Amino acid sequence: MNCQDVDKEEVSERYLLGRLLDEERDNFERHYFGCDSCFATLQMGLAMQLDLEKNPLLRNRAKGVSWRQLLTWTPAVAALLVLVVGECGGMRGEESRQNRNLRRSR
Amino acid sequence: MRDAPSNTEVLRSLVERIRQGDTEAEGELVCQFSQRIFVMGFVRTRDREASRDLVQDVLIAVIGALRKGQLQDSDKLPAFVHGTARNLINNRMRNESQRPSLEPLSEDLAQSGTVEALENSERLELVHEALQDLGEDDRKILWMTLVEGRKPADIASILGLTPEVVRTRKVRASKRITEIVQSKLSRSPANLPHRKRE
């Protein structure tokens, strides 16, 4: 195995994903034990993999809430809010009317 | 003027110096191979603790063998270190409980490959920053490739791109991150040549 093979066949990436055959894996490891350039590339790949793995924000983004989903649900949420606010307002009005009546009767 | 020594000469000299009991040469060996052993152990086991232990065990075994002059062909030092690491990982996986207890590395040698150096926290931090600066699609491509293990054709159909575009963007994004990180690492005080104290 040489540096060109590693580059062309995306060996470093497949190694990090555990997708090399045992023999390929051993050959690649033997190669990077003696090759500074391929080891530097592998270290970068591993660092990126570890960072991306622990980044939940990106995980949510990659799964994605689409604009279409937002547009579908936004009017429904807005209507619900109007109903809730209206209901609360109505309840408050009813309450103050009852209080006024109570004061008058006293 | 003499050219810089070739890799073969460097390895030959390193192996010979260790055989003669030069502890500085042992430190150089630790620096050269500890991160490689750690990465190999981590990729195979995904276990940080086990990988750190592996680094110690491999280096103790290799230094012991080199002190006894057991490596005939010094060009094969990287392959020898790799072979020792592979055997120890396989043995450990076969039978964790029967692992022989090895004498730990001396404090000086152990410090040549501290945990921070093994995991290279500065590199991880710089990679994190560089990833944040990437465009969202490029980050998604890297995430789907390196975390989900998706192939370019698969990613292309999800993102509405062609596989060729996905491949190109993946390579371009990886290269960009590598360049940013390496340029910042080369300017880092830890990597500047040490000045002599006056």
Residue-wise pLDDT for A24-56, tens only, equals: 999 999 999 999 999 999 999 999 999 998 876
Asked if B78 reaches chain A (Cβ–Cβ under 8 Å), the answer is yes
Residue A46, pLDDT score = 93
Residue B107, pLDDT score = 57
At residue B197 the predicted structure's pLDDT band, cuts being 50, 70 and 90, is very low
Give ipTM to 2 decimals.
Answer: 0.80
Q: Which of B147, B148, B170, B186 to mutate to test the interface with A (most CBs of A within 10 A)?
A: B147
Please state which CATH number belongs to domain B7-115: 1.10.1740.10
Query: Tokens in use for B65?
Result: 């063998």
CB contact under 8 A, A47 and B79: no
Q: Tell me the pLDDT tens digit for each residue of A79-98.
A: 666 666 666 566 666 666 77
**Residue B154, SS3?**
helix
CB contact under 8 A, A13 and B146: yes
| Long-range CB contacts (within 8 A, 24+) of A27-33 | A27/A1, A28/A1, A29/B40, A29/B82, A29/B85, A29/B86, A30/A1, A30/B78, A30/B79, A30/B82, A31/A1, A31/A2, A31/A3, A31/A6, A32/B36, A33/B33, A33/B36, A33/B78, A33/B79, A33/B81, A33/B82
Question: Which chain B residues contact residue A32 at CB under 8 A?
Answer: 36
Chain B residue at shortest CA distance from A17: B149
Residue A67, pLDDT score = 46
Q: Tell me the pLDDT tens digit for each residue of B69-110.
A: 999 888 899 999 999 999 999 888 776 655 555 555 555 555
- Whether residue A14 has pLDDT greater than 60: yes
Domain B121-191 falls in which CATH fold? Arc Repressor Mutant, subunit A (1.10.10)
At residue A71 the predicted structure's pLDDT band, cuts being 50, 70 and 90, is low
Average pLDDT over chain A, rounded to an integer: 77
Asked if B176 reaches chain A (Cβ–Cβ under 8 Å), the answer is no
Chain A residue at shortest CA distance from B152: A10
Q: Which of A51, A57, A58 to mutate to test the interface with B (most CBs of B within 10 A)?
A: A51
